[in-house]
C-alpha cells in the first residue's frame, strides 16, 4: 500500500461529526473569561504552592498592540544585529555501542559579513560504555583557521544516552562559538533559542541520573559556565544579549495554577499567552445539517504583546537569584542572570514567540523599550525571527542529505553499521533502507 492514502469521505465525515461533539463540550467563551481572570488576578506576582514567586512583571503589567505594517517600517533601534544558531545531525547509535551526535554552530550578521559567516564551530560528542576508550580531545583549528573543532566524550550513563550526546554537542558548539566571536558584535546579539541551555537544564527535573550529571560532571558544567560567561561578557560591554524562542514550551503559569487547585485548560504557557493576546470575535452559525456552531474570526492586522516578566519557574529557577547555578562562579549580582521575557503574538501565522534576555539588561526601562520595539519590528518585517537569526539558522543547519552522507561516512570510519528502526525504512522508502530496493541475506 502506498504512503499517500487519504481518508475515505465517509471516515472523514465521521471524524468531523465527533469533533463537533467535542466543540459543544468545550466552550471557548469560558476559556476567554478564565484567561482574563488569570491575567488580572494571578500574575502580579504568580506564586507556586510553596509561596515562591515564579513570575512577576517588570514595570507596569499591560497588553499592547502595534500595527504590523507600521512597525515593520520603523527605523531599527540597533544599527546592526548578530544572530547565532547551532544545528545537529541528531543522535545516532551504532552497532559497536557508540552513540554520537555532531553539531555545528555559526554566527551571521545584518548587514552581512561574509568573513564572519564562513566561521564555524564543530563538536562531536560520543557516548561509549567501554571504560578503556578515551575519546576526549582538545579544541583544534581547521579550514585555514575558520573552524574550531572538538571531540568530546560524554559522561557514561545507563540510560538517556541520546539526550546526553545531543545536548552536550548542541550547547557546547553554540556557547563556544558565541564566546569566540563575541567581539564581532557591536549593537545587538540574538541567540536562536533561549539564553541558557534549557534542554540541558531540564535534566534537573527529568531523572536523578541526569540531575547528578549537572552537579558532578565537568562536561555539562563547562557548558553552563560558557553561558554564564556570555552574560557577563555582554553585560560588561553593555551590548544586549537576547534569545528568540520560536517554539516556547514553558509551563510556569499552567503548573502554578494547577498546583493551586485551579484547572488550567491550556497545555502550556504558549497556549495561555496565545489565548490572551489573540483578538477574536465569535458569531453563531448553522451548518448544513442544521447544527448550531460558533464561528471565530481573528484579527490579523496587529502584533500583540505584553510587558516583560521576570521568570523563576521551571528550568529558569536554576539560574535565578535563589538558585545555585550548580555551583558555577558568577561575578555579577545573582539577580542579573535571571531570565526575563515577553511574548509576541503574530496573528498572520497564528504563532507566539518568546523573547528572552538576562535581567542585567532588562532592569533598565529604556533597554526594555528598545528591545521590545526592535523585536516587534523584526517579527513584523520578517514574519518570524530577526534576519540575522534566519541567516545563522541557514548556515548552521545540517541538511537531510548532509546528515545521511555523514552517517554513512561514520559507518565506514567505525567499520560498523548504525542501528536502524522500522521508521527508517518507513519514511525513506518502501523497498529498503534509504529508499533503495535492499538486498537479501
User: Is residue 1's pLDDT more than 80?
Assistant: no
Q: Out of 49-58, 86-95, 125-134, 382-391, pick the least confident.
A: 125-134
Cα separations in angstroms, 199 against 84, 193, 308, 374, 382: 17, 11, 23, 27, 27
| Residue 23 binned pLDDT confidence (cut-offs 50, 70, 90) | low
With H, G, I as helix, E, B as strand and everything else as coil, classify residue 25.
Answer: helix
pLDDT of residue 280: 85
| Residue 440 binned pLDDT confidence (cut-offs 50, 70, 90) | very low
Beta carbons within 10 angstroms of residue 280's beta carbon? 12
pLDDT of residue 430: 43
Bridge partners of 101, per DSSP, are 125
Beta carbons within 10 angstroms of residue 354's beta carbon? 23
Rounded to an integer, the average pLDDT of 407-427 is 78
One DSSP character per residue, 363-390 reads TSHHHHHHHHHHHHHHHHHHSSS-HHHH
Region of residue 130 (left: phi > 0; alpha: psi -120 to 50; beta: else): beta
Grid coordinates of 269: 504557557
209 — phi, psi (to 5°)? -60, -40
Angle CA(7)–CA(9)–CA(12) in degrees, nearest 5? Answer: 65
| Residue 55 binned pLDDT confidence (cut-offs 50, 70, 90) | very high
Q: What is the CA radius of gyration of the chain?
A: 24
Proportion of the chain in helix, strand, coil states, percent, rounded to 5: 45, 25, 35
Q: Do the beta carbons of residue 276 and residue 258 sit within 8 Å?
A: no
Instruction: Give tens-digit pLDDT for 144-156.
Output: 999 999 999 999 9
Q: Out of 22-31, 323-332, 362-371, 404-413, pick the least confident.
A: 22-31
Q: Do the beta carbons of residue 109 and residue 82 sit within 8 Å?
A: yes
Alpha-carbon distance of 190 to 182, in angstroms, equals 11
pLDDT of residue 322: 93
- Tallying the residues shown for the chain, one arrives at 441
| pTM to 2 decimal places | 0.90
| Residue 437 binned pLDDT confidence (cut-offs 50, 70, 90) | very low
Q: Out of 139-153, 179-193, 287-301, pick the least confident.
A: 287-301
Instruction: Give tens-digit pLDDT for 247-273.
Output: 999 999 999 999 888 888 899 999 999
Q: Do the beta carbons of residue 228 and residue 337 sit within 8 Å?
A: yes
Residue found under cell 515562591: 52
User: Is residue 295's pLDDT more than 50?
Assistant: yes
Grid coordinates of 389: 537569526
Distance of CA 199 to the CA centre of its chain: 8
User: Is residue 43's pLDDT more than 60?
Assistant: yes
Q: Out of 86-100, 120-134, 196-210, 334-348, pick the least confident.
A: 120-134
With H, G, I as helix, E, B as strand and everything else as coil, classify residue 385.
Answer: coil
| Residue 53 binned pLDDT confidence (cut-offs 50, 70, 90) | very high
Q: Do the beta carbons of residue 326 and residue 215 sit within 8 Å?
A: yes
Distance of CA 336 to the CA centre of its chain: 21
Grid coordinates of 314: 521551571
User: Is residue 97's pLDDT more than 70?
Assistant: yes
Q: Do the beta carbons of residue 156 and residue 133 sit within 8 Å?
A: no
pLDDT of residue 30: 63
Beta carbons within 10 angstroms of residue 117's beta carbon? 16
Rounded to an integer, the average pLDDT of 187-205 is 97
Short-list 262, 255, 312, 250, CA closest to 41: 262
Bridge partners of 106, per DSSP, are 85
Short-list 237, 240, 285, 247, CA closest to 268: 247
With H, G, I as helix, E, B as strand and everything else as coil, classify residue 416.
Answer: coil
Between 257 and 12, where is the model more confident?
Answer: 257
User: Is residue 426's pLDDT more than 70?
Assistant: no
pLDDT of residue 46: 95
| Residue 436 binned pLDDT confidence (cut-offs 50, 70, 90) | very low
Rounded to an integer, the average pLDDT of 162-190 is 98
Short-list 304, 403, 402, 295, CA closest to 345: 304
Return the DSSP state at 261: T
User: Is residue 353's pLDDT more than 60?
Assistant: yes
Query: What average pLDDT is seen over the chain?
Result: 89
Distance of CA 200 to the CA centre of its chain: 12
Cα separations in angstroms, 111 against 85, 114, 297, 319, 386: 17, 10, 38, 33, 12
Share of the chain above pLDDT 70, in %: 90
Alpha-carbon distance of 402 to 397, in angstroms, equals 10
Amino acid at each position: 500500500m502506498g504512503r499517500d492514502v487519504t481518508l475515505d469521505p465517509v471516515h472523514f465525515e465521521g471524524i468531523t461529526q465527533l469533533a463537533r461533539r467535542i466543540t459543544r463540550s468545550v466552550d471557548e467563551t469560558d476559556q476567554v473569561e478564565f484567561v482574563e481572570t488569570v491575567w488580572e488576578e494571578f500574575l502580579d506576582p504568580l506564586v507556586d504552592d510553596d509561596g515562591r514567586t515564579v513570575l512577576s512583571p517588570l514595570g507596569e503589567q499591560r497588553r499592547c498592540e502595534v500595527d504590523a505594517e507600521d512597525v515593520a517600517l520603523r527605523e531599527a533601534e540597533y544599527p546592526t544585529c548578530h544572530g547565532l544558531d547551532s544545528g545537529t545531525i541528531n543522535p545516532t547509535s551504532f552497532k559497536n555501542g557508540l552513540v554520537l551526535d555532531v553539531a555545528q554552530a555559526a554566527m551571521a550578521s545584518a548587514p552581512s559579513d561574509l568573513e564572519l559567516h564562513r566561521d564555524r564551530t564543530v563538536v562531536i560528542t560520543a557516548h561509549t560504555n567501554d571504560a578503556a576508550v578515551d575519546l576526549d580531545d582538545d579544541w583544534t583549528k581547521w579550514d585555514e583557521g575558520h573552524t574550531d573543532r572538538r571531540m568530546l566524550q560524554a559522561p557514561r550513563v545507563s540510560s538517556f544516552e541520546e539526550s546526553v550526546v545531543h545536548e552536550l554537542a548542541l550547547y557546547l558548539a553554540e556557547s563556544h562559538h558565541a564566546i569566540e566571536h563575541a567581539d564581532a558584535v557591536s549593537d545587538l546579539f540574538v541567540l536562536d533559542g533561549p539564553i541558557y541551555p534549557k534542554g540541558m537544564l531540564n535534566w534537573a527535573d527529568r531523572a536523578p541520573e541526569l540531575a547528578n550529571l549537572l552537579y558532578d560532571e565537568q562536561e555539562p558544567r563547562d557548558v553552563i559556565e560558557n553561558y554564564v560567561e556570555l552574560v557577563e561578557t555582554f553585560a560588561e560591554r553593555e551590548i544586549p544579549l537576547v534569545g528568540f524562542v520560536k517554539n516556547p514550551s514553558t509551563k510556569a503559569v499552567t503548573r502554578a495554577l494547577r498546583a493551586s487547585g485551579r484547572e488550567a485548560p491550556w497545555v502550556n504557557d504558549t497556549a495561555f499567552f496565545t489565548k490572551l493576546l489573540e483578538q477574536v470575535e465569535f458569531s453563531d452559525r448553522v451548518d448544513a445539517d442544521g447544527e448550531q456552531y460558533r464561528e471565530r474570526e481573528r484579527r490579523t492586522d496587529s502584533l500583540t504583546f505584553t510587558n516583560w516578566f521576570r521568570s523563576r519557574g521551571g528550568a529558569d529557577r536554576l539560574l535565578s537569584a535563589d538558585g545555585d547555578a550548580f555551583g558555577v562562579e558568577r561575578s555579577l549580582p545573582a539577580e542579573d542572570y535571571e531570565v526575563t521575557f515577553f511574548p509576541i503574538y503574530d496573528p498572520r501565522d497564528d504563532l507566539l514567540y518568546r523573547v528572552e534576555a538576562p535581567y542585567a539588561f532588562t532592569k533598565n526601562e529604556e533597554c526594555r523599550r528598545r528591545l521590545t520595539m526592535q523585536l516587534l519590528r523584526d517579527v513584523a518585517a520578517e514574519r518570524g525571527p530577526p534576519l540575522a537569526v534566519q541567516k545563522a539558522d541557514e548556515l548552521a543547519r545540517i541538511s537531510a542529505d548532509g546528515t545521511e552522507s555523514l552517517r554513512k561516512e561514520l559507518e565506514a570510519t567505525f567499520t560498523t553499521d548504525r542501528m536502524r528502526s522500522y521508521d527508517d525504512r518507513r519514511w525513506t522508502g518502501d523497498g529498503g533502507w534509504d529508499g533503495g530496493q535492499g538486498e537479501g541475506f
